[in-house]
Structure 1
Amino acid sequence: MADALISPAVGGVLLATSAAAAAYATAKIKNELGDKKIPIMAVAGAFVFAAQMINFTIPGTGSSGHIGGGILLAGLLGPFPALLTIATVLVIQCLFFADGGLLALGCNIFNMGVIPTLLIYPLIFKPLLKKGITTSRLTLASIISVVIGLQLGAFGVVLETLISGITALPFSVFVLLMQPIHLAIGVVEGIITASVLGFVYAMRPEIIQSSEQRLPLAAEVSVKKPLIVLAVITVLVGGILSIFASAYPDGLEWAMAKTAGTTELEAEGPVFRSAEAIQGATAFMPNYDFPNAGEEGSGIGTTVAGIAGAALTCLLAGAAGFIIHRVKNRNAKTT
C-alpha cells in the first residue's frame, strides 16, 4: 500500500498494532530458533525478498501478482520468527527501495505478516497437518492457507481505505475487484508455497516438523544443502529473473485503476510530505533501480537491487534471530 491510500490516523494505529504484534512475537519465541534455525531465518527472508520482485501475469486480466511469503516463512520457521522475518522484508523494501509507503508500513506488515503468520498459520495451516505431515497434506495446507490469508489481507486493504475516507475507492466497487483478483493471485502463490515447502520437506523433513512443533533442530540435522539451494535460487531470482517480471500492474494497482481510473492517488498534508521526505532520504534504489535510470529503467539496476535487497534482508533477519536467541539463552541461564 502507498501512503495515499490511508489517513495518518489509520497509518498510526496500524503501525502501533504491527509493532505490538512484533513485540509479542519476540516475547513468545522460546527455544525454537536454535543455532541451526537462525541461518534458515536469514536465507528464507532473502528468498522472500527476491521472490516478491517477481510479478507473474494473471492470464486474461491485464494484472499481475507476487507472493506475500507469510505462510511460506511460517512453514519454514514457525509463526513468530516468520512474522519478524516478513516485517524485516517489508521494512527494507519501504526504506531502501521506496516500495510501499512509510506511513502505510504498519498496514503492510499487518496485512502481509500478522494475518498469515499469527492467524492463518495456527488456525488453518497447522490443523490441516494435525494427522501428520505428508507431501499431499502440506500442499493442501499451503494452498488453502495462502488463499484465505490473501483474501483477508486484500479485505484488510479495502477496510483501511474505507476507514481512511478514501472516496476515490468506494467500498462496494473496490471490494468486488480486490477479492477476485487476489483469489487468483492466492492460488498461484499457494502452489509456489507448496512447491518450496514440499522441496524442503523432501530434503530435510525435520525443518518443517520442528517449525510445526516450535522446537529447535537437533544438532545432528544438517541444513547445509537446503540452505545452499535456497541461496542459489535467491540469487537467480533476485539477480536475473527479476528483470523479466511482468509489467502489468499488480492486483492492488489493477483494482485501483478499475475503480478510480488511476494507480496513483494524490495525498496532501504535512504528515505525508514528511513521510515522503524520509523515504527520499533513505531509499538508495527507489523502485528497485538506480536513481538516474529514467522511465525506461535499467536491467543492471534491477539486478543490483535484487541482490542488494536480498543480502540486506539476509543480514538483518539473521542478526535479529541471533540477538533474540542469545538474549533468550542468557535470560534462561540466569533464572
Structure 2
Amino acid sequence: MTDLEALDLDFVQLGGTGLQTSELQFGTWRFGKETEEGNVEIDEARAHELLDAYEQAGGRYIDTADVYGGGKSEEWIGDWLEDRDRERYTIASKIYWQIRDGDPNSRGTNRKNLRHRTEKILERLDTDYVDVLYIHRWDDQTSAREMMKTLNALVEEGKVQYLGASTLRPNAWKVAKANEIARAEGWEQFTVLQPRYNLVDREIEGDYLEMARHEERAVCPWSPLGQGFLTGKYSRADGLTGESRAVEDSRFENNYLNETNFDVHDELDAVAEEVDATPAQAALAWLMHRDGVTAPIVGARTVEQLEENLAAAEIDLSDEQVERLAEAKGGPYAGL
C-alpha cells in the first residue's frame, strides 16, 4: 500500500490564473450516487475516508457538481470542511442539468437558474464562495451574453472566484465566442476548461487544445482512465472482467471495447511494465506529461483505488514513452 503522506502532491499553476492547483484533482461524482439496484456507490462515511486520504497525500483541489448524489456530494464535502481551514482548499462545482421535473427554467445557464443554484451550492458546501464555478454543459437556449454577464456578476459579488467550462468538446469556438464577449465588456472570462481526455478519447486534440494553450486556459480532464477501460479490467477475450456497471452498457462497449483501443492498451501495458506501474498509473502519468494539460481529475470507490491513482504523480515517463503512447491511437494529432 502506498504511503500517502510520502506522496505530497505538488501544486501547479491553474492556467493563466493566479491560483495554484494540486497536480491531481479529486473528483466526487460517485458521492451519494445510487445504482439501478438502489444502492449508494459511496456513502458519507466512505466519502470522508476518501477526502481524508486525498488530504493526507497533499491534495487540496476538490471537484464536485450540484447534481452529484442529488446534492449529497456538496453537503458531505461541506460537513468534511467544517473542522478545517476553508482557505486551504480549492472547491469547484458545476451547474446545468435540470433539477425540477416540469420546470424548464431549472436547467441550463439562464440568469434565474444560475443565481438560484449558486446560492444552493454555497448553502450545501456551507461556504461563502466557490473557487471555480463551471457550466456543466453549453446551453443553446441562453445567449452567451446573458450567461457571461450573470457569471461576471457572481464573481463581482465574491460568490465565485474563477469561471470554468466543462465538456464543450470539441467546440472550442463556443468558449472563444463567450470569452470574446466577456473580453469586450470587461467581464470575467472562462479560465478553466474541463473536457474529457485520455489515451483513447482524443477528440480535444487540435483546435481545442490549441485554443487553450494560446489563451492560457487551464485544462483539467475528466475521465482520464476512459471510464475504467485503461485500468486493465477489460480484455479482448472476455470483454469485461472485474467490477463495473459498464457490462450492461452497449454504448460503453461500442466506444471502448474495440480493436483500436485494445491496441492502445497493449502499448500502455508495455510502458507500465517498463516503469513498474499499473496501467492506470501509466495512463494518468501520460496525461500529466501531456503538453497543455494542467491537472487530471481522479476519482475512486475505495481508498486503495485512490492511493493507486495518486501514486501516478511519482511516475516519470521518458519523452519516447510519452510519444509511443500518443502514437498508439494514431490519427492526425498523435504527435501533439
**TM-score calculated relative to the size of structure 1:** 0.23
Structure ranking higher in strand proportion: 2
Q: Which has the higher contact order (CA 8 A, sep 6+)?
A: 1
